[in-house]
Amino acid sequence: MTSSKAPPKPLKTLTNTGVKTAKPAQAKTLVKSVGQALARHRSQTGLTQAKVAGQLGIETETVSRLETGAIAATLSRLEQFAAIYDCPVASFFLEETEDADGLAKTLAGVLKPLDQEERKLLVSFVTEAGRLFRRRKAKSRTG
C-alpha cells in the first residue's frame, strides 16, 4: 500500500464572525513579505546569509529561499531569527512604512526590549535629533 501525501491545508485566519480560509495568493504575499522582512533585519544587523545559516544550523540556500519567499518559515524558525536579530517575531509581519504611525510602531518595537534607562536615552536622542532637523529645515526656508 502506497501512502500519498495530502495536499497542504490552506491558511486560516480569524475574523469577527469566525475562521476564514486565506486565499493562496494572500498566503504567498504574506510569505514573500515575511521573507523581505527577514532579509531587511539581517541586513540591518550586518550579518551574511552564511553567518545566519551557521547560527541556525541550516544551509545558506535555505536562508536565501526563506528571504525570497520561495519557502515559508515556521513559527519556531521565526523565533530563532528573532533571537538572532534581537527583535520581536511580530516585526517580521509589519510592513515597512514611511508614515509617522508606522514608524512610531517600529520605534516602539525597538524600545520594548530595552531597560528603562536605555529607553530614556534613546528617546532623548531621537527628540534631540528631531529638534536639529526642524531647526535645519527652518533655516533653509529663511535663508
pLDDT digits (tens, 9 = 90+) for 103-121: 787 778 778 888 999 999 9
Query: Is residue 74 one of the residues assigned to a domain?
Result: yes
For position 109, what pLDDT does the model report?
Answer: 74
Rounded CA-CA distance 62/112 in Å is 30
How many percent of the chain have pLDDT more than 70?
78
The CATH number of whichever domain residue 90 belongs to comes to 1.10.260.40
Query: Is residue 131 one of the residues assigned to a domain?
Result: no
Helix spans in 58-115 (H): 60-68, 75-85, 100-111
For position 120, what pLDDT does the model report?
Answer: 94
Query: Is residue 122 one of the residues assigned to a domain?
Result: no
For position 15, what pLDDT does the model report?
Answer: 44
- Region 53-61: mean pLDDT is 97
Query: Is residue 90 one of the residues assigned to a domain?
Result: yes
Number of domains into which the chain is organized: 1
Whose CA is closest to 29, among 116, 125, 93, 111? 93
**53 pLDDT more than 50:** yes
Rounded CA-CA distance 61/127 in Å is 41
- Region 64-70: mean pLDDT is 96
Range of the domain at 74: 12-94
pLDDT greater at residue 48 or residue 143 = 48
Q: Return the H-helix or E-strand segment holding 142.
A: helix 116-142
Query: Is residue 46 one of the residues assigned to a domain?
Result: yes
Please say whether the beta carbons of 67 and 35 come within 8 A. yes
Rounded CA-CA distance 32/67 in Å is 7
For position 11, what pLDDT does the model report?
Answer: 47
- Region 39-68: mean pLDDT is 95
Query: Is residue 29 one of the residues assigned to a domain?
Result: yes
**46 pLDDT more than 50:** yes
Coil, helix or strand for 84?
helix
- Region 30-55: mean pLDDT is 93
Query: Is residue 125 one of the residues assigned to a domain?
Result: no
Query: Is residue 123 one of the residues assigned to a domain?
Result: no
- Name the residue type at position 87: C
Nearby residues of 69 by Cβ (< 8 Å), 6 or more positions away = 28, 31, 32, 33, 34, 35, 36
Beta strands in the chain, from DSSP E residues, in sequence order: 12-15, 18-21
Confidence tier at 57 by pLDDT (50, 70, 90): very high
- Collect contacts of 114-117 with beta carbons under 8 A, ≥24 apart: none
